[in-house]
Amino acid sequence: MNKLSGKTALITGGSSGIGLASAKLFLAEGARLAITGRDPERLETARQQLGDDTLALVSEAGCLNDIEALLEQVGQHFQTLDILFLNAGIAEPTPLELTTEDQFDRIMRVNFKGVFFTIQKALPMLKPGASIIVTTSITNRSGTPNFSVYAASKAALRSMVQSLGLTLIGQGIRVNAINPGPIDTEGFNRLPLPGDVFQAIKTDIEGRSPIKRFGAPEEVAKVALFLASDDSAYVVGEEIVVDGGISLVCLP
């Protein structure tokens, strides 16, 4: 039997990368699906790949009005939610001397604040047995020069997953995180860095990685499926690292 038969899922940032790979896998495992993204064209391309039954909604992950509107639409469509996968996120360099307050606030809003309020607003739709999954990053465990704000936003998520894991397990709702290392996604390849700097970072990561390669989004999706399904029924407030072992050698 499919692992997600009869379940409904909302994946934020489901139009590309890890979110889209997870959407495809959840669908193949029998879930009914809603996905979000910012860019309407990318969202439509994803919807065409996922099929007409998938609800694809433009929604800004850091905007509370958008979050409320999104959950209203998802509520009308599905009534209840079994899986809430909060995966939308932005990664931008924030060199200490150059970072503006606007940029700081935007990264925190999308990566952290929006996740908290999406969980809050979705709560009435989540029933016992529901699973909330949050995408963090291995940057939340180590020093990440030039990405301090992004790393801190993901560290805040890790802490929140532990606290909300305890808060919600009494209602039968599990909260966990997926912690990816370097994954070869559209988002990673769009990092706003000069070409030669970007290539040097990629080569350095591959060289330091015990597995000597980037991960594929599909490899993260399989862990998301584990956390989404009843296979992880006894996993609460946990953060599962999916990084080919790189955090073992990069951490002090």
Ligand X SMILES: NC(=O)c1ccc[n+]([C@@H]2O[C@H](COP(=O)([O-])OP(=O)(O)OC[C@H]3O[C@@H](n4cnc5c(N)ncnc54)[C@H](OP(=O)(O)O)[C@@H]3O)[C@@H](O)[C@H]2O)c1
Among the options 26, 85, 150, 214, which is catalytic? 150
93 near ligand X (CB under 6 A)? no
Written as six digits, the tokens of 214 are: 């980037």
Site string for ligand X, 46-65 (x = CB under 6 A): -------------xxxx---
Q: How far from chain centre, in Å, is Cα 155?
A: 14
17 near ligand X (CB under 6 A)? yes
Select the residue interacting with ligand X from 182, 225, 229, 250 (CB under 6 A).
Answer: 182
**Distant-in-sequence, close-in-space partners of 75: CB < 8 Å, separation ≥ 6:** 125
Q: Could you confirm whether 150 is annotated as catalytic?
A: yes
Q: Which listed range, 15-23, 95-103, 163-171, 205-213, lies at the site for ligand X (CB under 6 A)?
A: 15-23
18 near ligand X (CB under 6 A)? yes
Residue 1 or 249 with smaller CB distance to ligand X: 249
Select the residue interacting with ligand X from 89, 93, 237, 244 (CB under 6 A).
Answer: 89
Query: Measured from the CB of residue 170, what is the shortest distance to ligand X in angstroms?
Result: 28
153 near ligand X (CB under 6 A)? no
Q: Distance between CA atoms of 181 and 235, rounded to whole angstroms?
A: 21
Select the residue interacting with ligand X from 8, 10, 19, 240 (CB under 6 A).
Answer: 19
Site string for ligand X, 125-144 (x = CB under 6 A): ----------x-x-------
Q: Distance between CA atoms of 93 and 181, rounded to whole angstroms?
A: 17
Residue 97 or 102 with smaller CB distance to ligand X: 102
Residue 3 or 38 with smaller CB distance to ligand X: 38
User: String of b and e for 40-55 (b: at least 16 CB within 10 Å)?
Assistant: eebbebbbeebeeebb
Query: Measured from the CB of residue 242, what is the shortest distance to ligand X in angstroms?
Result: 9
Q: Which listed range, 116-124, 184-192, 228-236, 244-252, lies at the site for ligand X (CB under 6 A)?
A: 184-192
Q: Which listed range, 77-85, 86-94, 163-171, 192-200, lies at the site for ligand X (CB under 6 A)?
A: 86-94
DSSP annotation string for 37-103: ES-HHHHHHHHHHH-TTSEEEE--TT-HHHHHHHHHHHHHHHSSEEEEEE---------TTT--HHH
Written as six digits, the tokens of 28 are: 């193949």
Q: Distance between CA atoms of 9 and 35, rounded to whole angstroms?
A: 8
Q: Kindly tell me the burial class for residue 95, based on how many C-beta atoms sit within 10 Å of its own C-beta (0-12, 13-18, 19 or more).
A: exposed
CA torsion sign, 195 to 183 to 61 to 161? negative
The residues facing 215 across adjacent strands are 183
Length of the chain: 252
Query: Would you name the residues annotated as active-site residues?
Result: 150
Binding residues for ligand X, rule: CB under 6 A, are 13-19, 36-39, 42, 59-62, 87-91, 110, 135, 137, 180, 182-183, 185-188
